[in-house]
Amino acid sequence: MQSTLFHRAAALLTTLMISGVAAADWTQRSDLNMRPGVTAVSQDVYHLHMIILGIVTLIGVIVFALIMWSVFAHRKEKNPVPAKFHENVVLEVVWTVIPFFILIGMAIPATRVLINMEDTSDSALTIKVTGSQWRWHYEYLDYEGDNNINVGFFSDLATPPEVWQRPILSGGLFPVGSAQEQVGVEREPLTPETAFNYMIEVDNPLVVPAGQKIRFLITADDVIHSFWVPDFGFKKDAIPGFVNESWTKIPEDAIGMTLRGQCAELCGRLHAFMPIEVKVKSQEDFVAWLAEQQEAAAEGPDMTPFAGLDDAMELGKPIYDRSCAMCHGAQGQGQGAFPSFQQTALMTDSNRIQDNIDILLHGRGAMPAFRAQLSPKEIAAVITYQRNAFGNETGDLIQPDDVQN
């Protein structure tokens, strides 16, 4: 961010020269061209892309060369008397028919790749992907014939708001709300060294096995989102009321890799803040991981009461920062339509603790329901935190047992 104009010019030239390969820091990233990706499908798409890019570049170069030739050779000084011709049937037929054949040449490989991409049969693993404002929910539905897996979790952006909120304007002109307090706060510059996975890191990544065909069932809870991991070679919209299908098969040599993607359909305020992170494991490791998850799920939620207020506050703060602060502000100050928590009636009136719990469990208006993503203990912790932070100091301690559906 302190980089100078010179630095940027140098970076531009370097990336242009080593086309397709980004600077050394970004072995799995690109800033210039599509990456081939790790799967056979994404590599097919990459090759298709390069072929078409080659063809259109060639057409462009020929057309522009003709124009430039005309611009230099047929200018008035050199050619004072213009020719008179204004049609030529043979020429016109030729330049209608030749593009037609070029198009057929492009359509054949495109059709072949597309038919392959649409075949979701014979998958070993089925994962349901649900987009919501603004997180992904992954449910493992079926693995090698076992359709009673019961493993599912939410996946949130892990880059905290205090890293991405860097206002330079004071609030007022724009409805920023939090800007005023944030101005002048010293921040680490965003560089590859300090924040390599900035905006593309999550708390709970999707875990998948290599070497097996994985089918995704993609849908949404609220508005349309789009599930896009470039390495899978496809992008598929997550549409409320619809279930879309897609598949991928990650080769064995990608074991241990982390694949990254993003939401690709405008889904509201935090559209840019719901990335996708995929961890590739070997089949054995995946089976072990799945068993571990199933065990944890089978134990049921942890309902042990908090020993004291501090225990609950300690657990509540990170949950607040991850799940609430994006809308309600890191200091609970609220912004725009999102209410403030600073000494508001809901937060300080102890008769309204149940309201507070209900809103969190079931949602209200733009506020999503959290009963599926947070355990009763987590909900108790975060409400305890809200009611004792931001100058509220109510002393209310909510226990997991208080959180009833």
Partner 1 sequence: MADHHEHHAPTGWRRWLLSTNHKDIGSLYLWFSFAMFLVGGLLAMVIRAELMYPGMQVVDPDFFNQMTTTHGLIMVFGAVMPAFVGLANWMIPLMIGAPDMALPRMNNWSFWILPAAFSILIGSVLMSAFGPGNPPAPNFGWTFYAPLSTTYGPASTDFFILSVHLMGISSIMGAINVIVTVMNMRAPGMTMMKMPLFVWTWLITAFLLIAVMPVLAGAVTMMLTDRHFGTSFFDAAGGGDPVLFQHIFWFFGHPEVYIMILPAFGVVSAIIPTFARKPLFGYASMVYATASIALLSFVVWAHHMFTVGMPLAGMLFFMYMTMLISVPTGVKVFNWVATMWRGSLTFELPMKWALAFVILFTIGGLSGLMLSITPADFQYHDSYFVVAHFHYVLVSGAIFSMFAAVYYWLPKWSGVMYDKFWGEVHFWSSLISVNLLFFPMHFVGLAGMPRRYADYALQFADYNWWISIGAFWFGISQLFLLWVLIKACFLKKGEKATDEVWEGAEGLEWTVPSPAPFHTFDTPPVVK
Give residues 263-292 in contact with partner 1 (rule: CB under 8 A). Answer: 263-273
Name the residue nearer to partner 1 (CB basis): 216 or 390: 216
Beta carbon nearer to partner 1, 10 or 288: 10
CA distance 207 to 391: 40
Q: Using an 8 Å Cβ cutoff, are 309 and 385 in contact?
A: no
Q: Does 222 bind partner 1 (CB under 8 A)?
A: yes
| Spatial contact of 50 and 44, defined as CB atoms under 8 Å apart | no
Backbone angles phi, psi at 273, to 5 degrees: -120, 30
Nearer to partner 1, 231 or 378 (CB): 231
Burial of residue 291 (CB within 10 Å: 0-12, 13-18, 19+) is exposed
Q: How far apart are CA 51 and CA 18, in angstroms?
A: 19
Q: How far is the CB of 89 from partner 1 (least distance, A)?
A: 9
Token pair in block for residue 225: 């989102």
- Per CB under 8 A, does 18 bind partner 1? no
Number of residues interacting with partner 1: please give it, by CB under 8 A: 118
Decide if residue 63 touches partner 1 (CB under 8 A). Answer: yes
184: left (phi over 0), alpha (psi -120 to 50) or beta: left
Shortest Å, Cβ 287 to partner 1: 31
Q: What is the closest distance, in whole angstroms, from the C-beta atom of residue 290 to partner 1 in the complex?
A: 28
The contacts of residue 84 (CB under 8 Å, 6+ apart) are none
Helix, strand, or coil (residue 67): helix
> Could you tell me the smallest distance in angstroms from the CB atom of residue 318 to partner 1?
21
Question: Does residue 234 interact with partner 1 by CB under 8 A?
Answer: yes
Please give the Cα distance from 375 to 302 (Å, whole number): 8
Which region among 66-74, 136-144, 305-313, 387-395 touches partner 1 (by CB under 8 A)?
66-74
Residue selected from 163, 255, 359, 372 as contacting partner 1 according to rule CB under 8 A: 163
Residue 369 binding partner 1, by CB under 8 A: no
CB of 24 to partner 1, least distance (A): 12
352 binds partner 1 (CB under 8 A): no
Does position 245 bind partner 1 by CB under 8 A? yes
CB of 32 to partner 1, least distance (A): 5
Geometric angle at alpha carbon 348, from 158 and 301, rounded to 5°: 45
Instruction: Say how many C-beta atoms besides its own lie within 10 A of residue 332's C-beta.
Output: 22
Q: How many CA atoms lie within 13 Å of 155's alpha carbon, on the beta-carbon side?
A: 26
Q: How far is the CB of 180 from partner 1 (least distance, A)?
A: 11
Residues pairing with 209 in the sheet: 281
Site string for partner 1, 23-62 (x = CB under 8 A): ---x--xxxxxxx------x-xx--xx--xx--xx-xx--
Side chain identity, residue 40: A
Site string for partner 1, 76-115 (x = CB under 8 A): x--xxxxxxxxxx--xx--xx--xx--x--xx--xx-xxx
* DSSP conformational letter for 207: E
Q: Which is nearer to partner 1, 75 or 288 (CB)?
A: 75
Name the minimum Å distance from CB 145 to partner 1: 26
Q: C-beta of 243: minimal distance to partner 1 in Å?
A: 9
Say whether 288 sits in a helix, a strand or coil. helix
**Residue 249 in 3-state DSSP?**
strand
130 strand-pairing partners: 137, 219
75 binds partner 1 (CB under 8 A): yes
Choose the stretch contacting partner 1; rule: CB under 8 A; options: 124-132, 138-146, 242-250, 285-293: 242-250
Cα 264 to Cα 276: distance, rounded to the nearest angstrom: 11
Using CB under 8 A as the binding rule, whether residue 323 contacts partner 1 is answered as: no
Q: Phi and psi of 209, rounded to 5°?
A: -85, 150
129 in contact with partner 1 (CB under 8 A): no
